[in-house]
Structure 1
């Protein structure tokens, strides 16, 4: 089976997705490619006709030249008779090739042009009418489905975002309960924040489920509309392939007249068998294979409700501002979130932005932001001893780990960071051991030079003993 009547075999159309929005384009392109194939086949036949015409002319000149020579120089007799017969073979053969040339031009090329004219009504600006009708039919069938699908997708993103914010608020509340320096008013704010986000999760979940139900209820209508247009595409393709087979047979018959004997005849007999096997049933089998990949019988991953899972984490590229639909991590520190922290015991922060052990508010934890200075890969190891990841007030006395502040819990910047200025000395309040090569070690009581203000994740650049590196801003106090 030739490639032009087996479009299913093309490598660029083997990917599934007929039911996806806009993926009907393969069927539209197949019709456009069919037009090009008709034109190219007519071009090929015309080239062969030109070859036959040139060969006919050369044979005729050859015959006339040597017939004149034989008539003038060869005496009558057996030699002249045989020679004239051989010269006559060239003349007869030229007539045969000239007849093939006429049949190719007057039959194959003409029938191809007539088929194109009758089945593809081309306009000057918008292309063939039949292609526009198919494309408009698919767009009309998909328009209501696309509207409902986009609505469902928006509700899903809102639900996932609420889940991330609720989890972040829970982490801040757990850290607040473990810190005895937090006031009752501050603890109440963290608790209210968490309760508010729990309500938002339930609300967005109901809206997501409702939109998904509406989408699935419309699915049968969508399938019926798409199948109707696809059936029209299949019928047009079957008609085109049947025409191709007919003109192939006609072309073969004309060429077989030249070589219907000796060794070449066997080649054409084999070709005839192949063409006889290229019947309507084989074409239908090809079209069925197309349907399994790019039609109504193809596999589809229909949308279903997917419960939010914090374990499904998506490591985003540096500097990416897109909402990837999952939790954005910069470093993962494992902790059993179901076990509350024991009072008086340092706990490891589990902000979902997975940054270094730095203060992080609930608002900042909901953004897909990375530390602009941190370009190395994330390392999954725990600092010993663990430190609490919290906000803290500069006026509070030093503890074993930075205390938590209730001031502005939803702010991405911490109030105590406003006092930092570049190139200022600062006293180290807590010990810190680096986790990555671009960090510097801190020891409680020593002095360090602060070179930059804290970034959105609470990290500063400083210099100590001639070494420059990153450190948590909450671990020092400016002098």
Structure 2
């Protein structure tokens, strides 16, 4: 049961590992995205069922076995079990009289066979002396020896037969006594076999996931979710959120106000940044500090899931779209293309981050240092990575004042 528990834990860990590897991957969205995550959820729920089986195997049933063993088998200080010694003593006591008589019969049989052997030898010598024409005195001695051996054979034979008859008379009582002891321990063994049979049936119920309604519900739910995936509905959603049907924010006339003096233009922000001026703003997520710069000429409000989740931007109250500028220390110069030109600002369709599946180019300020995770971490926000201990990551920026970096 303990080994089976280990296999259940190992299987659960493998399912959880597959879930952590495949769950964040893929550009799925909409109904197909829900189908994708439903498949990941299946692994998680099956993993939970394996852990339930593990708990059931090592819970009350294992404790029940220990209690039964403690009640049925009592250990002795000198070693072994009390019940084993009682069984051996019971059989030994039941067969002791018969065994004693059997030993006597074996002794009588041995004496009779030895007497027969001596009688045979004496007869051979007597026959040889008759052929060799020995003196009468020697022949007489050999003849007396033969007669004496014959008498001994007769005597030992009678003793042997008598002992055997006595043993046969004791055999019924011996069989009765042995059967009583046997039945006593047969009942003991029957209780053990019955206990284990019932226990194995209970364990089978825990191991048989096909009879678990939770197990069948997992795949019924999974099939319903997969069948509900609609490609046309997802295409329609993508068109409405990331295509021609998405909400537009066309440029319009804005009246001057005192607040507008406090907002830096894109060009001014880059010039100050190149001169070594550090601009930092407080962000709700734990990421690198950045300066929000308005871009009021961008007609697209792109706040959907397609945006890069690791670099969230702060929105300005006076602008529908804000561009993030990474804060640098004095003396650091960021060499970037002149993306904030007047020609691009006047184009309502200019949007460098409109493709959610396109990798963001690395800037010269990034460090690109390979690092390895020391512990498991689950991201608590859209801008935080999730990883497992031992995963290799790439650090692409220095730590900020709060100890966070990009990767």
Per the normalisation by structure 2, the TM-score is 0.48
Per the normalisation by structure 1, the TM-score is 0.41
Kindly name which structure, 1 or 2, has the bigger radius of gyration based on alpha carbons.
2
